[in-house]
A and B are shown apart, each in its own frame.
Chain A
């Protein structure tokens, strides 16, 4: 084998590995994902921390909006939706507020370092049998500019990302 053919062979092998590697990795990663056919989002609970109704609603609606964008492989049902009753592979998204710091848009606008609004929510994904498939704390905040709604938007984006990273539609894995 000439020196040239050796170089060509090694280059081909390297190219094949570089193409196949990420696909293999993705397949391995996908097998670690949780299979689900649909997701039912429950209204945000705030038992120990009293959360203003507007925040509760803003979080709930933002989560549904973001799930429809980022996790469109899952059908999203709302809390109480009768159509979700007998759906096989349904996962329930249960969330409880565990931390809430009310900031101030005015302070943020004036100082850009004070007045941070922060929300920490414990997210649980539960199957039909009541088994917790995944539990994770997710926080949302608005630090510099913008109204407090951005904290709920920030949380919703991160929560939807958690779903996107950890779940796959039934039949896709």
Chain B
């Protein structure tokens, strides 16, 4: 009688152990699959040699990508003939490196798989491995900030609110170009640059939903914000707010700081990574 009960207990215990082991194995497999996603930095974009042909809408690009200590060149054909990839140097994405392909999720969460054309150690690339990933001002200063599409929400005297234009850095000045008119502020006159992520870190301590802290409808457009405070020649304080495509505000902030702008919230080493995570997370929403 006692041995029967003991046998039942033993069987129950074995079943529970088996379930537990299966659960742990599944969890570890899951965490392994997500941890395979790594941050990749675009180090260069060149038109693909064989594709500079007849059909411009099918233009392909050789995109140089640095992931960990490896440099890859992948073939990318943008959908709808878009050419924005030409200005993507310096941007960071979450990528999944496979044997012959690299996968990434775009802003809308669509997964793309790009064939790897070459794979080398990062040291052999034109950009040394530490240069692209470093966030120190000295190294960032050497990087060229690509122009980004932006909307000026408020703050420029000669620009009407909610004006669309291009935000760029030229000759140490923040420039906003719209309808052929260029407004500019010397980067050195900027005494604070704050992104949406910064506000979230200060207020919540963690990253949450981006739209919570924006005074305008960024939720609809999936955009980041860049808030700057700067002084005019008389010392008068001005403020301006721009929205930028999601994931671009942090890199733009780094570039501004590299050109002499100041900030009350220092750029964190993983700020770009956070943005990349947000891109991936938002894409999956």
Contacts and interface: CB of A to CB of B under 8 A. Distances in A.
A58 B153 contact: yes
A43 B231 CA distance: 12
Given A43-B237, A53-B192, A54-B227, 9 more contacts: A52-B215, A53-B194, A54-B213, A58-B239, A77-B236, A81-B232, A81-B235, A104-B211, A149-B154
A152 B239 CA distance: 14
A56 B229 CA distance: 10
A78 B238 contact: yes
Nearest to B155: A61
A78 B215 contact: no
A117 to B, nearest CB: 8
A112 interface: no
B216 interface: yes
A78 B198 contact: no
Interface of B: 153-155, 192, 194, 196, 198-199, 202-203, 211-217, 219, 225, 227-229, 231-232, 234-241
Nearest to A106: B219
Interface residues of A, number: 28
B154 to A, nearest CB: 5
A131 B235 CA distance: 25
Interface of A: 43, 50, 52-58, 60-62, 77-83, 102, 104-106, 147-149, 151-152
A147 B213 contact: no
A81 B216 contact: no
Contacts of A43: 229, 237, 239
Given A53-B199, A57-B155, A148 B235 contact: no
A53 B253 CA distance: 14
Pick from B155, B229, B239, B241 the residue with the most CB of A within 10 Å.
Answer: B239
5 contacts: A54-B241, A61-B155, A79-B237, A80-B231, A105-B217
A95 to B, nearest CB: 14
B71 to A, nearest CB: 37
Contact of A81 (B198, B219, B234): B234
Q: 7 closest A-B pairs (Cβ-Cβ)?
A: A57-B239, A78-B236, A81-B236, A53-B194, A79-B237, A147-B217, A52-B199
Contacts of B216: 147-149
Contact of B241 (A58, A83, A104): A58
Contacts of A52: 199, 203, 213-215
A105 to B, nearest CB: 5
A54 B234 contact: no
Given A54-B241, A57-B229, A147 B215 contact: yes
